[in-house]
Structure 1
């Protein structure tokens, strides 16, 4: 996302769906809008799903590139059409019952030329569905879901990042400086590696799918 943002002629506007837990837009030179569902049930609390006002406020306080954080359901979004240069959804779609409506709304809010970047567990490798997941996508199945709306779709297996990937996903906090430095370092290494090194056409040893869909 950093490379994408820097390639844009103006500062891009990026929507991070379910972004309260996403670290993939941290440090991206863009105006980030975070959306998530409100935490209303005990099940959501137990599974750490959804957000509260306090969570949003803490995110706004610690991230300078987040310009707005709001409650929104991407299957019936209230966001303006053609208002974002990119949409990011990290490990979100597998939780959504109405996935076709979700993808349709992502397409609607993107500007022409905009990109939808997403990850999801690799259904070609996983044989059981987690309790809070509606489904798992195979590479072919995810391609079909996205191609039903987008003109240009690429889906690949994301190479297991091992320890570096896990460190990079750790939350940043002044209360835990050592962990924060390790997380920042891991993300820096990932950022300077060639993009081709992060994906493969071989499902073996992979845990996730990564997709990029473009609106023409």
Structure 2
């Protein structure tokens, strides 16, 4: 389930990509599949071990071009261990809402991006996230949980203040918003609640089968209740 639109971002063979806060690796895998040289970056060693194993399996099974390279790197998003201008593309999907010093993290995302390169940041959208917070403290008030709710214009302003040129905005995962409202309403600690398991089966079916009905429904609903918002920027080329 991708939040980033890779066709719009323009990742291709030979691109250098860092996926900051890669988590389970979904965006790293897609960039690698498209032939990019990928750094899957996260602070969780256990997540990175799993991501690295899948990247290696993809290479062995020919799911990525032989020319593409991928590595998993552990570290802190507030102090990325890379030189200025190291990457053509920087992806930061669903991480800034977890980071107390979000402006410092944004500084680092911009710093490691090459002039002319592109940055995409995704975060939970304000309205769906606000509903979750209203329904459940457990949803966000936990170690490593969400510490803020962004308005898209607020995040846009923070990134643009670093000299980045805004390019595009879109919303994603409308079908997931009601799922999380339902989980919050019945209790996030009750994953086996019949209503939750039924909705989860629907989401799995949608992701695996991609039927036209749910694809069209989500396209219509994304501008209204899309669970995530994605903001795309370009770093001005050096003069």
Settle same-fold status: TM greater than 0.5: yes
Does 2:70 align with 1:67? yes
Pairwise CA RMSD: 3.3
Give me the whole-angstrom Cα distance separating, in 1, the residues matched to 2:107 and 2:209.
36
CA contact (8 A) 1:87 1:117 kept: yes
| Bigger Rg, structure 1 or 2 | 2
Name which of 35, 53, 56 aligns with 1:58.
53
1:94 offset after TM fit, Å? 0.7
Instruction: Pick from 145, 149, 155 the counterpart of residue 162 of structure 2.
Output: 149
Question: Which residue of 10, 14, 21 corresponds with 2:17?
Answer: 14
The equivalences for 1:1-216 within 5 A come to 1-2=6-7, 4-6=10-12, 11-25=14-28, 26=30, 27-39=33-45, 51=46, 54-64=49-59, 65=64, 67-127=70-130, 128=133, 130-131=140-141, 132-154=145-167, 156-162=169-175, 183=207, 186=210, 202=223, 204-216=224-236
* 1:161 to partner: Cα distance: 4.7
How many residues align? The count is 179
Q: Which has the higher strand share?
A: 1
Aligned-pair CA distance for 1:5: 2.2
Cα displacement string for residues 59-98 of structure 1 (whole angstroms, at most 9, x for unaligned residues) = 3323335521111211111112111000111111111111
Q: Could you say which residue in structure 2 is the equivalent of 1:43?
A: none
User: Helix, strand or coil: the match of 1:143?
Assistant: helix
Residues 157 and 199 of structure 1 are in contact (CA less than 8 Å); yes or no, is this contact kept in structure 2? no
Find the aligned partners of 2:84 and 2:221 in 1 and give their Cα distance.
31
Question: Judging changes above 3 Å, is the alpha-carbon distance between structure 1 residues 159 and 55 closer, same or farther for their aligned structure 2 residues?
Answer: closer
Evaluate the alpha carbon distance shift between residue 33 and residue 122 of structure 1 in structure 2; reply closer, same or farther with a 3 A threshold: same
- Partner Cα distance (1:15, 1:72) in 2: 12
Aligned to 1:176: none
1:104 partner SS: helix
Q: For structure 1, which runs of at least 5 residues remain unmatched after alignment?
A: 40-50, 167-179
State the alpha-carbon separation in 2 of the partners of residues 104 and 124 from structure 1.
Answer: 26
Query: Contact conserved, 2:75 with 2:81, CA < 8 A, in 1?
Result: yes
Q: What does residue 195 of structure 2 align with?
A: none
